[in-house]
Amino acid sequence: MIATATDWVRVCRLDDIVPLGARVLPATKGDIALFRCRDDSVFAVLNRCPHKQGPLSEGIVHGHQIACPLHSWVIDLESGEAVAPDIGCTPKLPVRVIDGEIWLSPTR
């Protein structure tokens, strides 16, 4: 489903998240983990590792990936897919940065 302009919600400023850091946004269908990479790319995924439901927001960001804090599974933030040899996926959400503000579309 493609998000329309009215689907976007401002969630915070880019500067509210430190580089290589995360922020958790409460949501009814499960908390969302918002990540800021070193290059200021921002990604949003469901805050659950597909392996044992570990809190991805507590993991380590490297490149455009996050390492789950429970068992070191690596999730590609661009796709939500686990990096081989692991398999699985965590849902990702559309996110954009406009004029230093982070906007999220809750459409999944």
Give residue-wise pLDDT tens across range 61-92. 999 999 999 999 999 999 999 999 999 999 99
59 vs 43: CA distance, rounded Å: 14
**Residue in the structure block whose two tokens are 């490149």:** 63
**Domains of the chain in sequence order:** 5-104 (2.102.10.10)
C-alpha span between 91 and 43 (Å, rounded): 11
* 43 pLDDT above the threshold of 50: yes
3-19 pLDDT, tens digit per residue, is 455 689 999 999 999 99
| 104 backbone φψ class: left, alpha, beta (φ>0; ψ -120 to 50) | beta
Q: What's the pTM?
A: 0.89
- Residue 28: pLDDT band by 50, 70, 90 thresholds? confident
